[in-house]
Amino acid sequence: MEIYYSGRSQCKPKHSSGPAMRDHYILHYVSSGRGVYTSGGNSYSILPGQGFLTLPGIINYHIADASDPWFYTWVAFKGDNVPEILKGLQFDGDALVFEVIKENQVFFELILDKIITSSDSDFKTYLLHTGNIYNLLSSINILSSLDPEIDTMYKRYKKYNNDEYINKALDYIYKNYCRDVHIKDIAQHVSLDHKYLCMLFHK
């Protein structure tokens, strides 16, 4: 297990990343604010105490909310045993979103802080960071696994198919065709970045 990079940011309204494809994993954890994460043709609303995992080789995109943007932390990593670990955690193509239960959030954020603030690169630090990644992964609940305890919470954070965004955009165009409507107006109406909305239509 190797950590590539890490960081944290208070995003500006509608700050976006992607669409992009990477060769490693990136775990994002949201401390405050909200936004939308899109991967594998599905979009997820992400709120405080939740996060999302970017998988290698899959096009993904995320955007912060216009009025309540994210403050989030991220850790990028890679390892030969990661697929097996994620499979054990029931992370798969349809389960990219997780939550950290309230009792574990302080512990989870402490681990993230240790990873981000460490500037050492010796072997001991490598071992500590490897253990920290394992601790992070062991502290999450996969929302899409729909365990009985988290089924109700998952339903509050509806998973949207991209077709719904397109239909909503088309409905807006139909109702406003007499006005001078621009792509940015449509994107704002459906809460997506205009570049990503264009990509959906081009599909």
Question: What is the Cα–Cα distance from 59 to 57, expressed in whole angstroms?
Answer: 7
Residue 21 scores a pLDDT above 50: yes
| Three-state DSSP class for residue 127 | helix
Question: Domain 2-157 classified CATH 2.60.120.280?
Answer: yes
Instruction: Tell me the average pLDDT of the chain.
Output: 77
Note the pLDDT tens digit of each residue in 167-181. 788 887 877 777 777
Q: What pLDDT does 129 receive? A: 74
> What is the reported pTM?
0.66
pLDDT higher for 148 or 41?
41
Question: What is the Cα–Cα distance from 164 to 189, expressed in whole angstroms?
Answer: 13
Is 70 in contact with 115 (CB distance < 8 Å)?
A: no
Is 20 in contact with 62 (CB distance < 8 Å)?
A: no
Q: What pLDDT does 168 receive? A: 81
Phi and psi at 126, nearest 5°, equal -60, -45
Q: Give, in degrees to the nearest 5, the angle at Cα 113 between 109 and 117.
A: 175
Note the pLDDT tens digit of each residue in 110-121. 888 888 877 666
Burial of 133 (0-12, 13-18, 19+ CB in 10 A): buried
Question: What is the Cα–Cα distance from 12 to 24, expressed in whole angstroms?
Answer: 25
The token duo for 177 is: 């065709």
3-state DSSP helix/strand/coil percent for the chain, to nearest 5?
40, 30, 30
Residue type at position 119: S
Residue 71 scores a pLDDT above 90: yes
Burial of 138 (0-12, 13-18, 19+ CB in 10 A): exposed
